[in-house]
Copies of this chain bind each other. A is one copy, B any other.
Amino acid sequence: MTKAEKRPVLTDVALAAGVSVATASKALNGRNHVNKNTRQRVLDAAEKLKFSPNPFAQALNFPVTGTIGVLTADLSSRFVLPILMGVEEAFGAGSTSVIISDARKDLVRERFLLQTLIAKRVDGIIVLGDDANARPSLSEHVPVPVVYAYTPSVLATDCSFTPDNAMGATLAIDHLVARGRRKIAMINGEPRFEAAQERSSAAHAALQSHGLGFVSGEVLYGDWSESWGRQGVRALLNARLDFDGIFCGSDQIARGVVDALREEGRSVPHDVGVVGFDDWELFSTTSRPPLTTIDMNLEHMGRAVAGELAVAIAGVTRPGLHKLPVRLVPRESTAGLDGSLANREDAAGGPLKA
């Protein structure tokens, strides 16, 4: 690494262009009242010197600093990362810096990091959770706009974004029914998660709208694991239930489900159609067969949240819980008996991914 020879400052540019710093500043910032030629001379000089303005000096003159903070509950979470990527994409390439701080599920640490972000004068904060259960608001303690992503704030006056779980469940059930399945069960994750509850109720409602109910009478709850997916299938089998479709609370569960079905000699999709949730490609595309599933569009959510924060920083707040649409990604686990994949209408506007 080359030792930092002092960087050119505005004075150097002005000197090189033969104007005052004031004029140089105006020229560089596209202010009016600068002669076209003068401006060009300044621009050339800046170019030649590879001048770039010191953002700290600029920040000193403006109310906004050009940095935003992302406070994550758990950076390692499968849901956090895609959202972070969307945020980064929306901000990172521009003039806004994204500072990350990871609370590692520690509320004390979260408070501390929040204070640190504030001390660093971020213009706004994105609070990024890893489950759908509403969380305490932080906004009281914060002098800048806050937007909550994935995990909403309990306060309706805060601005939160979550995926539309109900829509996902409805899409899943409608898809199974459209594929001719009538005897449908649901193997869900942990009931203490609101996401699980929302998916259950919406699935139930969707079934009813088709004049159907769960073959098992009620939703099976377990944890979010493959292992539970396998157990769930065995439970259905042991109960001697006749079923031809299973909607799973997550792709991990779904993978366990298709593995168990295969091991028990049931063909997917021939005997049983399976729909997952999350479109976690690690599972959805490597499963045998690949999984039809619900894509929550998390990266898009990241961009939406970033946009909303930008708007909020500009002074326009749009409080409330914003549920973002999800889409169904059809794959082989619900293919028609002729092996055809689901048709376009099912895809809810999205292209096939795998």
Chain A residues with a Cβ under 8 A of chain B? 1-2, 4-5, 7, 52-57, 59-60, 63, 65, 67, 75-76, 81-82, 84-85, 88-89, 92-93, 97-102, 109, 112-113, 116, 118-121, 139-140, 142-146, 158, 225-227, 282, 286, 312, 317
Contacts and interface: CB of A to CB of B under 8 A. Distances in A.
Given A54-B60, A88-B101, A92-B113, 6 more contacts: A1-B143, A56-B65, A75-B81, A88-B100, A93-B112, A98-B100
B286 A145 contact: no
Nearest to A263: B263
B60 A4 contact: no
Contacts of A7: 143
A265 to B, nearest CB: 13
Contact of A317 (B1, B54, B60, B227): B1
A76 B81 CA distance: 7
A40 to B, nearest CB: 22
Q: Is the interface of A mostly helix, strand, loop or mixed?
A: mixed
A85 B74 CA distance: 10
B92 A102 contact: yes
B93 A85 contact: no
A142 B7 CA distance: 12
Contact of A56 (B56, B113, B146, B317): B56
Nearest to A262: B263
A139 B2 CA distance: 8
Contact of A85 (B53, B75, B85, B113): B75
B100 A142 contact: no
A63 B7 CA distance: 11
A116 to B, nearest CB: 7
Nearest to A60: B56
B286 A226 contact: yes
A343 to B, nearest CB: 27
Contacts of A99: 67, 97-99
